[in-house]
Amino acid sequence: MEMDEVLQLIKDKWAELSNSQFLDFKDFIEKSSWRPQGGKLECIGVYIIYEQRVPIYVGSAGKGNHVLKYRISDLFSYSPKSKNHFYHTLTKKLTIDYSKKKGKTTLEALDCIRRFYLEKCSFKYVQTDTIDQARMLEQVFILLLNHPKHNG
């Protein structure tokens, strides 16, 4: 890509993001299993999580077959048998912080964080053609959104 093309992509995707609607997690997650609903968000892209319309996290998805629907569902995932337990950095951070502050077990804290996502958060996303575009836009959006509090 030439510099002009990169700048135009950034401008176009920023405008697309700005004009898009806020989406509710409950419309994309099966609450009984915390898995993604089929047929939705099956694309590469960058996403922004908002708390009360304030951006708190920017991420990207699209490496391999791990499209946006899986990355969004990763927010709700937990595997006590795996080494890392959490599939999403934001969930790990929020759960550990909440657990320490409130003296809750990891699972109790995780339940609170899941409710937080469902009740107080929303998200927006923009689709990209490649994971490289998504990763670039992730970094640009972090800068344009003034470093959301949970990035970094």
How many C-beta atoms lie closer than 10 Å to residue 129's C-beta?
12
Distance, in Å, from the CA atom of 16 to the CA atom of 127, rounded to the nearest integer, reads: 9
Distance, in Å, from the CA atom of 143 to the CA atom of 13, rounded to the nearest integer, reads: 14
**What is the pLDDT at residue 141?**
98
**What is the pLDDT at residue 151?**
84
H-type alpha helices, 53-88: 68-74
- Counting the structural domains of the chain, the total is 1
Residue 65 lies in a domain: yes
Render 10-35 in DSSP notation, one character per residue: HHHHHHHHHHSPPB-GGGTEETTTTE
**Radius of gyration, alpha carbons of the chain:** 16
**What is the pLDDT at residue 95?**
93
Sole residue written with tokens 């912080």: 97
pLDDT tens for the chain, residues 1 to 152: 799 999 999 999 999 999 999 999 999 999 889 999 989 999 999 999 999 999 999 999 998 888 999 999 999 999 888 777 888 999 999 999 999 999 999 999 999 999 999 999 999 999 999 999 999 999 999 999 999 988 86
- What CATH number does residue 126 fall under? 3.40.1440
Distance, in Å, from the CA atom of 71 to the CA atom of 36, rounded to the nearest integer, reads: 9
In which domain, by residue range, is 10 found?
3-78+121-144
**What is the pLDDT at residue 109?**
94
**What is the pLDDT at residue 9?**
97
Residue pair 49/68 in contact by the 8 Å Cβ criterion: no
Residue 15 lies in a domain: yes
